[in-house]
Amino acid sequence: MSIEITLRGVSHKYDDQVALAGVDAVLPAGRLIAVVGSSGSGKTTLLRLIAGLEAPDAGEVLFDKKAYSGRPEDRPTAMVFQSESLFPDLTVAQNIAFGVRARGRRSAWVDEQVAIAMLRLGLTGLDDRYPDELSGGQARRVAIARAMVRQRGVLLLDEPFAGLDAPLARTLLRQLQATQRRLGLTMILVTHDQEHALLAADHVLVMDAGRVVQAGAPRTVFERPISLFAAQFWGSPAFVDAQVEQIDDSPSGRRALVRLFGELRSIPAHPHTTTGGPATVLLRPHALRVERVHDVVADDPWRRVSDEIGVVEETHYYGDRVEYLVETEAGSLVASGTLGAAFIDRGTAVRLMLDEDRAWVLPLR
């Protein structure tokens, strides 16, 4: 059962503090949706309003265009809180079954649903253990399984990876992703981890000061941010000032002709970019590549790039990729290295190679 959630002008205050300020958003049915933003941006409040644990001061929350009032239990939602606690005197299986047994469901049906939830979340064999015999990751998965067996169309997760080490968080993320796809749930994940949002989500909401700054597919919000704030939220982007000399609109989108690294470049541009207006070019590491000067190949497709020469200041190895901090006349830029190539030492002169289609022009006004 997939459910679309529509937020129309949703606002909420705690005393005089604005938590949400006129939020409008459509959360697509049957998708894993990540809600990200800094602390205090309104992420958890948004989740609580969807769950019915708080009532909006203005606006409405619709499920498949239907409004719900009254008890949270009447909504097609199940929520897992960041501080979710298990009943210490109940086993894993009893904890998972607690909510559905309380509603008088048949014992055989409950046992089957518990077994399925435990299998999907890697808890098989832990049926008879008590909470104090579980690791932190196992306890978190039990709490999620307890919400899953309620069989609601919307599963709400508030920071489910908080306090877990990176490998365990990645494993739990994969299990949630697989479960969401098997069941076709609308799963809303509040997380402070940008990598998790980009890795797993089908749809991302970026929030700031109680507003949705940008919403869309992970690649869109990362590569085509709608504002400087949205661009700066993801990682450590570099910006190079530029003057827009010409605008070219086509069915594939707007491109701006800007002078960058001493040459005119045609770069994808924000819809509000105008001719003659001040702008900045967003350059993420995947848009730039470094090569030793003598390694540059004449027919390399990245030759649509700059002949700018820089000096490697730092080398960062991430296992699956290498990034270099390069000092240039335009400032410090982070660029990718060629996978499989030898490391480039600090102090080495390199050429910056730019893929114009991976850069992005943002207006400054």
> pLDDT digit string (tens) for 213-271?
999 999 999 999 999 999 999 877 899 988 899 999 988 899 999 988 878 899 999 99
pLDDT band at 339 (very low <50, low <70, confident <90, very high): low
Sequence spans of domains, the chain: 5-229, 236-363
Q: Are 265 and 354 in contact (CB under 8 A)?
A: yes
pLDDT band at 120 (very low <50, low <70, confident <90, very high): confident
Mean model confidence pLDDT for the chain: 88
Burial of 234 (0-12, 13-18, 19+ CB in 10 A): buried
| Superfamily covering domain 236-363 | Nucleic acid-binding proteins (2.40.50.140)
β-partners of residue 207 are 37, 212
Query: How far is C-alpha 198 from the geometric centre of its chain's CA atoms?
Result: 4
Is the pLDDT at 53 greater than 90, yes or no?
A: yes
Is the pLDDT at 298 greater than 70, yes or no?
A: no
**Total residues found in the chain within this entry:** 365
Predicted confidence at residue 55, as pLDDT, reads 93
With a pLDDT cut of 90, the percent of the chain lying above it is 53
Lowest mean pLDDT across 48-52, 81-85, 344-348, 351-355: 81-85
Is the pLDDT at 211 greater than 70, yes or no?
A: yes
d(CA 53, CA 32): 21
> pLDDT digit string (tens) for 61-110?
999 999 998 788 889 999 998 777 889 999 999 999 987 776 666 788 88
Count of other CB atoms within 10 angstroms of residue 19: 21
Predicted confidence at residue 135, as pLDDT, reads 87
Predicted confidence at residue 303, as pLDDT, reads 42
β-partners of residue 239 are 282
Q: Which pair of tokens denotes residue 205? A: 């909401």
Q: Are 304 and 357 in contact (CB under 8 A)?
A: no
Which residue is listed with tokens 């990540």? Answer: 34
Predicted confidence at residue 304, as pLDDT, reads 39
Q: Are 33 and 205 in contact (CB under 8 A)?
A: yes
Predicted confidence at residue 162, as pLDDT, reads 83
Which residues lie below 8 Å from residue 37, measured CB to CB, with a gap of 6+?
Answer: 43, 206, 207, 208, 213, 233
Is the pLDDT at 44 greater than 80, yes or no?
A: yes
Name, of 4-8, 151-155, 167-171, 351-355, the range with top average pLDDT: 4-8
Predicted confidence at residue 105, as pLDDT, reads 67
Q: 110 in the Ramachandran plot: left (φ > 0), alpha (ψ -120 to 50) or beta?
A: alpha
SS3 332: strand
SS3 314: strand
With a pLDDT cut of 70, the percent of the chain lying above it is 93
Which residues lie below 8 Å from residue 102, measured CB to CB, with a gap of 6+?
Answer: none
Is the pLDDT at 287 greater than 80, yes or no?
A: yes
Task: Please report, to the nearest 10 degrees, the dihedral formed by the alpha carbons of residues 359, 362, 364, 365 taken in order.
Answer: 170
| 5-229 carries CATH number 3.40.50.300 | yes
Predicted confidence at residue 301, as pLDDT, reads 46
| Strand ranges, E, within 135-217 | 154-158, 186-190, 203-208, 211-216
Is the pLDDT at 45 greater than 70, yes or no?
A: yes
Name, of 5-14, 121-130, 232-241, 296-305, the range with top average pLDDT: 5-14
